[in-house]
A and B are shown apart, each in its own frame.
Chain A
Amino acid sequence: MSKDGKRAALAYAGLITLLAASFAAAIALGAVRLSPVEAARALLSSREASSPRVASSPEAIIVGIRFARACLAAAVGASLAASGAVFQGLFRNPLADPYVIGSSGGAALGAVCAIAFGSGAGALGFSGIGLAAFAGGLGATMVVYLVAGAPRLRSDASSLLLAGTALGSLFSALVSIVLALKDKDLHQAWFWLLGGFSGRGLPELAASAPAMLAGFAAAMAGSRSLDLLSVGDEEATSLGLRPAATRFVVGGFAALSVSAAVALSGAIGFVGLVSPHIARRFVGPRHVRLIPAAALVGASLLVVADVVARTAFAPVEMPVGAMTALIGAPFFVYKIARRGLDGAR
C-alpha cells in the first residue's frame, strides 16, 4: 500500500472510532445515566426481548430509544455531509452547502404549509409533514434547475448558484408569510425549522433511507467526475466530461438525499458545510475518499450535537441545528485560523 493509502486507511479507522464513540455517548448519556456495562447489557437484552411476552427492563427501553435516535442523527448527518461534499465539488466552491440549490427553502415551505394548513395522513412511511417537506425540497430543486437551465443561462455553476440563492430567499419569504397568517402554529413550525429528532424513530428512518442511499451511491459513482470539475468546466470538457449533465444528475441525486434528510429532521445547518472541510484534512480532496469520510464526520458530529441538545439544558431540549453550529463553528474557525481553508497549502 502506498504512503498515501496508509494515511487514508488510518484516517478512516480514526473516523469510524469517532462515530462508535459518539454512539456510545448517545446511549450512555441522558436523564437516566447508564454505565457502559449497563448499556451494553441492556442493548443485548433488548435484542433478546424482542418477543412481546418477555417484558423489557426500563434500561432496555431507554437504550432502544436512544440507539434509534442516534441512528437517525447519524443517517441525517451522513446524508447532509456527503451532499455538502458533492455540492462543494459541483460548484468548486468551499462555501456551498447541501441547501445551496434551494432544497432547504423548498422543504421548509412544504413543511410549514403542511403544519399551517393541515397535512394528509402521510404515505410511504413519511409523516404528512415529512412528505410535504420532501416534496417541497425536490420541487424547489427542479425549479432552480429549470431557471438556471434557461437558454441564456446555460446551466453553468454560477447560474445554478444564483438561481438557488434567489429562490431560497423567495421560499424564506413565503415561509414568513404563511407563519404570519397562521401564527397559532408558530411554535410547532419554529421547532421544525430549526431541526431535531424528537418524536421520530426507525420507521421514519426506513422511509428516508432509500433516497439517502441513492444520493450516496450517485455521489460515489460521480466521484471521478467531481474530481474533474475542480479544474473548471472548459478543461473538464476537454478531458471528456459533460459538466452541465454532471451537475444535473449528481446534483439531482444529492438534492434527493438532502430532501429525505430534511423530511426526517428539519433543515439542520452547518453539518453539510463543515464536515467536508474536516474530512478533506484527513483524506485529501479526491472525492472517492472524501465523500465517505465526510459522511462519517457528519454522522459523528450530528450524533454528538444531538446528545448535547438533549442533555445540556435538560429537561428542556435544544434545537439540534443550533447545537451543530455551537459545536462546529468554533472548531471550524480555529482550524481556518491555524491552517487556512485548504489545509495542505
Chain B
Amino acid sequence: MSALLEARGLSAGYGERVVVAGASFSVSAGSLLVVLGPNGCGKTTVLKTCLGLLPPLSGDALLGGLPVTGLRPRERARLAAWVPQLAESAWSYRSRDIVAQGRFAARGPFMPLNGDDEAAVDAALDAMDARAFADRPFSSLSGGEARRVMIARALAQETPLIVLDEPAAHLDPGRQMELMELLAGLARSGKAVAVSVHDVNAAKRFSDLALLVGKDGSAAFGAPGDVLTPENLENAYDTHFIHGDHESYGPYVLPLSRKRAKESHDGR
C-alpha cells in the first residue's frame, strides 16, 4: 500500500529555527498514526509542514506520493483534510456553514454547492452526531461540540487522509474515548489518519503507528510497541512513569513525577 502521507528526512521549523530535524515516517490507507511529544516539541509544526501549510526546511514531504510543495492548495485539499487545534471564525456562521466549507476543494470557488455537496455535509454531520447543533452559530458551541463540527468539516472534504492536531484537548474522558474510537473507525473504513495526542495509553491502544518527537528535535517512528517504550517516554517527557498490566486493559503507563532538572541531565 503506497503511503498517503510520507516524510523523508524532513526538517521542519520557522526560518532559521529548526524544530524537528530529519524526521522520516509515513501513513497509508487504513492506518492510524499517533504523534506524541512534549509541549512545544514541534508536533504541530511537522504536521503542518507535511500538509504544505509551512515550507519544509529540508527533506521531502509527500502527499499521495507527490511532493507537497509542488501541489496547489486545492489539490492538497482533495488529498488531505486538516483539523486545527483552535477553531474560530469571524462572523457568526452556522455550524452547517462551517462544515460546508469542506466542499470548497471539491466544487471549486465559483460553482454553487449542489445536492452531492449537501449530502456530503449531512453525512458528515451525522457521522459526528452534530445534527442537533448544525443550525446554531459556530461561535456559540461548547469546546467539544466545536471539535465535532471541525472533524465533520474534514469528513465532508472526503479526503483519503485526515490530519488532526490534538483533537482530544479539553475533552472529558468519555469524549476522548469516543473520539479515539471514531478515529480508529475511520482508519478501519480505509482512511489514513494522523493525529497528535497526549494520552499515551490511548495512543498505544488505538494506533497502528507512532511517531515520538523529542524536545531535542529527534523523531522516532515505528510500531507503537517499539516507539512508546518506557525509556523513550521517560526521555521524551522528562517524567517518571509507572508501568502496569491490567487484566482487561493490557499494558498501561501512569505519569508518576517530573524528573528534576539535574536528574534529567544525568539521564542523558
Q: Which residues of A contact B (CB under 8 A)?
A: 3-4, 92-94, 221-222, 224-225, 227-228, 230-232, 234-235, 237-242, 280, 284-286, 288, 342-345
Contact = CB atoms under 8 A, between A and B. Distances in A.
Nearest to B78: A240
Contacts of A342: 91-92, 139
B239 interface: no
A231 B101 contact: yes
Interface string B34-53: 00000000000000100111
Contacts of A232: 88
Nearest to B93: A285
Interface stretch (B18-26, B69-77, B227-235): B69-77
Contacts of B105: 239-240
Contacts of A241: 73-74, 104, 109
B31 to A, nearest CB: 21
B55 to A, nearest CB: 12
A240 B74 contact: yes
A206 B87 CA distance: 45
Nearest to B81: A238
13 contacts: A3-B135, A4-B94, A231-B98, A234-B48, A234-B84, A240-B104, A240-B105, A241-B109, A242-B73, A284-B92, A285-B93, A343-B92, A344-B92
Interface residues of B, number: 36
Contact of A239 (B97, B102, B139): B102
A228 B104 contact: yes
Interface string B134-151: 010101100000000000
B82 interface: yes
Which of B76, B81, B93 has the most chain A CB within a 10 Å cutoff?
Answer: B93
B139 A345 contact: yes
Nearest to B163: A238
B196 interface: no
B110 interface: yes
A343 B90 CA distance: 12
- The secondary-structure label for the interface of chain A is loop
Nearest to B157: A239
A168 to B, nearest CB: 23
Contact of B89 (A231, A237, A343): A231
A284 to B, nearest CB: 7
A232 B93 CA distance: 14
A20 B52 CA distance: 50
B218 to A, nearest CB: 26
A288 B113 CA distance: 12
Given A237-B53, A240-B76, A286-B97, A230 B104 contact: no
Contacts of A231: 87-90, 98, 101
A148 to B, nearest CB: 20
A345 to B, nearest CB: 6
Contacts of B102: 239
A286 B89 CA distance: 12
B263 to A, nearest CB: 39
Nearest to B153: A239
Nearest to A235: B84
A285 B92 contact: yes
A268 to B, nearest CB: 25
A286 B93 contact: yes
Contacts of B80: 238
B97 A240 contact: no
A225 B105 CA distance: 11
Contacts of A221: 109-110
Contacts of B112: 288
B104 A280 contact: no
B135 A4 contact: yes
